[in-house]
Structure 1
């Protein structure tokens, strides 16, 4: 039997979920949709299209009208905590976009509420469901190249062409460190199988940027297993764009691993290479991972509910990713002052 789902948030990311995942997924049945912005609600009803009688301007109304097992929250950050709280108090499992709360305190409260209600709270860290990320994680886990030491991650995109007046992206809070880098911060924890200890971060707004808040940053992150990550990210780089996962260079005792993941393009097989000491660079076979990306998140959520198990990116686990994100922002706001991650947990 398909999992009955209510989707909250029908904007940009909500539309992506609907078109690429929910619309063709047999594991779930979307029984209702919620959007508090009337214009966005009507636009979704007309464009997607959606049945008018199943669309609501409040989650409470949707829950009262239709039986559901879970709630998917794809609203903007301001709607995350209120929607999740309403869903959990109604006894529903919750899958939500990241960052899942605007403060660590509110995130902790949701995690505690989910435990009290005995419901699953999962954060969609969809980059964990890319095959090259899994392959890199296996190299670390199996110590194929020995011990991991130094990692470099570069993310570059040029999202700086749209008119300032009409582009919402230019005006959001922390467009890189909160809206994008949280993907990379979580991927570091997943791939390295280590937890962050401290971070020193600098962010800036280049002269040609159309963003209100800094769209570029650089950071050094120390992990508890000894790895040190150098991270650079930019929404306004004129350089060669990277994949969404970023370009990774990982140095081990006996060689290096170089990878990114462009699985979303399709037909790409060699985005991961290994070079052992004294040998030439060689392609690596990456595991078949189906489904990937957002669909992988949804499948993991459904499986966790059916098995009664805690998913890998549960709210409890994701507190550590959230803490790294907030530490990066705090460090950048204090001119690169190192921040201990434990101080935020």
Structure 2
């Protein structure tokens, strides 16, 4: 298959509603050119989209729950071929205890769902994971399933399973110095690793459809040893904005959560419009085919000297003052006051 054929399949724009995948697909400039969607999307397992294969209402509801809850949050799915009352009561208690211990907020919840299995479910490899077992527990993140292989009677083992999945190592950057140093340390051809740099800007109201945690879910569900996840909660200080503008000049979405894939001193921004599954598949594809697509990536800018950084920060501060509404209003009022003073002096002299 040609490079262009591989690239075409990246552009399936997946928009999720509560009832179905949105069928309004648009062309996206992912590699600097617009590619149209292919008829057969290799990034989507056909069985996962074929809801017609399911006849049981509970099975259909479970699949929709996986879609809705694992995109931006996470889901623990208990599957039994009988009612299994005890497990249905005890496992949610473990989930609540775990969520409380880790301080998991409602905006990023870990959900529980029970499915009484009455038919084979090919979606998300569920049938493969369940097999002939009468009870199975699956953890879903970014529409990807991870099976629990321990005893369902052991609360301790279930708790540890959740801890292993939730607390995946993700290096965190805190200051502009951290960001600058990180970009400098990987800005060379010697480092063979790929890095996902997750810049979590805070202006959520203007952002895309998949929510504030979907990028993180995509990264956490990418199981490649050569991909190192990095996260930064971006406090929009002038120093950080200058570093991003000068060293990551092609970053377009500076108000929304942004994901950059970095390798060999070059980076590619992954648009917020994609679902976690598509992001994960793009990362996997880029790792396998980097040298075929590297000419579409942007080189990281050179580090700034202290004097350059301070000069650009001061420029930002001056621009803020120029466009500050309070200062503009004060200038207008001051201008009127000077005019009135001039007229009053003129009239006074004219009267004299």
> TM class, shorter-chain normalised?
under 0.3
TM-score by length of 1: 0.28
Structure number with the higher helix fraction is 2
Name which one, 1 or 2, has greater alpha-carbon Rg.
Answer: 2
TM-score by length of 2: 0.27
Structure number with the higher strand fraction is 1
